[in-house]
Amino acid sequence: MIFKIMKTFVVLVVMATFGATGVSAQESDDPIIIPTHNWNSQIVMSHVVGKLLEKAGYNVEYTPMDSQEVYESIRLGDVTLELEVWEGTFGQSFNAALEKGGIIDVGDHNAITREDWWYPAYVEELCPGLPDWRALNRCAPQFSTPKTSPKGRFLAGPVDWLQNDQERVDALGMDFIVVNADSASALWAELESASRGGVPIVLFNWTPNFIEAIHDGRFIEFPEYGKGCKDDPSWGPNKEKTHDCGNPPNGYLKKAAWEGMEEKWPGAYRILEKLSFTNLEIAEMAAFVDVNRLDPEDAADAWLHENERVWKSWLQ
Ligand code: TMO
């Protein structure tokens, strides 16, 4: 009996000393809470990173959450981190939370992002002058649906991605009506059916994404993005309105964390600092779900299995 206890004690001491789990005794065993949203690269990446943190000995929980409200939740410490802060869709909410305090910028992924109005390549033959937004606007009736006729339909993402598309349509005086899709998969279903019929469609899309491996297409070129476009009416071609520009064509993809994370889980914070994914890696994560139809957890396992050389050093 006494030997058994001693043996257990020795094993525990050895684990604590040599960090068999990677987590030192001072770190919290409260769960690190990772929010998940409604597009697949983010969900898979969240599980990839959650599994890495578990390998390092941390407890992890996932919680589905609105992709704008998450910045306020991180600030308050209700969730611990965010792995995909896209500049185009979330830059404003992220900046607002940074200004209030409680959330920190943990650096960029090695990726360049773009999120904007997009069309499949065959549309170019039907609407000369694309990808210029003025050409698109001249062709507006071609993009109409029974509900929007005679105006064109812009098929936007789910409302929580808050693209301010209606503001842009108003500021640029476009003959389009913004219709929000309920989900990312609804966007892809509409793209598939339009493509099969050769029907003009303009919809919200982004890169990196699995779509670019399957569909040739382009983003609409709006008046070029500049600082001030989204909050200063006097900026840009319309001197009275905001949002008279496209999204940044070379947007960032950042990681963010609750400012208490470093003190509570220092080793996990180091891992978050080190980790970074490329455009191709992010597109692969989405493709495991959107193309190969794995569920997000299995997709994360598959991704980790194929990419050990990418993540191994983050755990050291
Ligand atoms: C936030 N998103 C990548 C869907 O544009």
Please state, rounded to an integer, the average pLDDT across all residues of the chain: 93
User: What pLDDT, on a 0 to 100 scale, did the predictor assign at position 15?
Assistant: 45
Instruction: Measure 163 CA to ligand 1 centroid, in angstroms.
Output: 10
Question: Distance between CA 70 and CA 72 in Å, rounded?
Answer: 5
- 35-59 pLDDT, tens digit per residue, is 999 999 999 999 999 999 999 999 9
Which of 115, 118, 253 is the pocket-test mutation for ligand 1 (most atoms within 8 Å of CB)? 115
In the chain, % of residues over pLDDT 90: 89
Task: Identify whether the C-beta of residue 300 lies closer than 8 Å to the C-beta of residue 47.
Answer: yes
User: What pLDDT, on a 0 to 100 scale, did the predictor assign at position 104?
Assistant: 98
Instruction: Measure 175 CA to ligand 1 centroid, in angstroms.
Output: 25
Q: Is the predicted pLDDT of residue 181 greater than 90, yes or no?
A: yes
Burial of 44 (0-12, 13-18, 19+ CB in 10 A): buried
If pLDDT is split at 50, 70 and 90, which confidence band does 21 have? low
Q: Are strands 152-156 and 176-180 parallel, antiparallel or unpaired?
A: parallel
| 281 Cβ below 6 A of ligand 1 | no
Average pLDDT, integer, range 20-46: 89
Alpha helices (H) along 120-228: 123-126, 133-138, 165-172, 184-197
Tokens linked to 34: 């990772």
Q: Which of residues 79 and 20 earns the better pLDDT score?
A: 79
Which of 43, 92, 161, 277 is the pocket-test mutation for ligand 1 (most atoms within 8 Å of CB)? 161
- 184-211 pLDDT, tens digit per residue, is 999 999 999 999 999 999 999 999 999 9
| 133 Cβ below 6 A of ligand 1 | no
Tokens linked to 229: 């476009």
Helix (H) or strand (E) holding 152: strand 152-156
